[in-house]
Amino acid sequence: MLFIGSSSITLWKSLAEDFPSVKVINRGFGGSQIEDSVDFADRTVFRYGPRLIVFYAVDNDIESGKSPAVVLEDFKRFVALVHQKLPRARIAFISIKPSPARWHLGDKVREANRLIKDFTETDRRLGYIDVFTPMLGKDGKPRAELFVEDRLHMNEAGYTLWRFIIAPYIK
């Protein structure tokens, strides 16, 4: 099982311990966007021949000014590239998280999540993992207790939540 994406994947130090029943490979790299996962797929995806790719990278795309529609097209390119070389591989997209530092982008994040969720429903090899909703408090805003001081990256509580959300999909 390959986890790929931005710093939210890179910083998940307990990843292998969190999913002990499967072989886990962490190929996240900080600051990455979807197009980086396309450009570096030979090094970060294909050399491992994964059966399942758990993907998270989109909040940097939105922060850089890309529209939700462009984000969707970039993700479609990633999926097409992977399925060209690994036609049986499943790809699970982790929704964009609602971080306090980027909450001003909330509408774009919601739209990108919706577009990608709709796309994942078109192919049985694709899945959508909603972390956005469980990371919101009762007030509808990001739960600050899930983040470190920069209000962008998650702390141990954030990763624990992700583990519980992602685990059923892996099984």
pTM of model > 0.75: yes
pLDDT recorded at residue 31:
87
What span, in angstroms and rounded, lies between the C-alpha atoms of 82 and 171? 21
- In this prediction, residues 101-111 reach a mean pLDDT of 97
Kindly report the CATH number assigned to the domain that includes residue 126: 3.40.50.1110
How many degrees, rounded to 5, is the angle at CA 66 between CA 54 and CA 123? 40
pLDDT recorded at residue 99:
96
Q: Which two tokens stand for residue 11?
A: 């910083």
What span, in angstroms and rounded, lies between the C-alpha atoms of 1 and 94? 14
Helix, strand, coil percent content, the chain, rounded in steps of 5: 50, 15, 35
Do the beta carbons of residue 143 and residue 136 sit within 8 Å?
yes
Domain limits at 164?
Answer: 2-170
- Number of folded domains that form the chain: 1
- pLDDT tens-digit profile of 15-46? 999 999 999 999 998 889 999 999 999 999 99
pLDDT class for 65, splitting at 50, 70, 90? very high
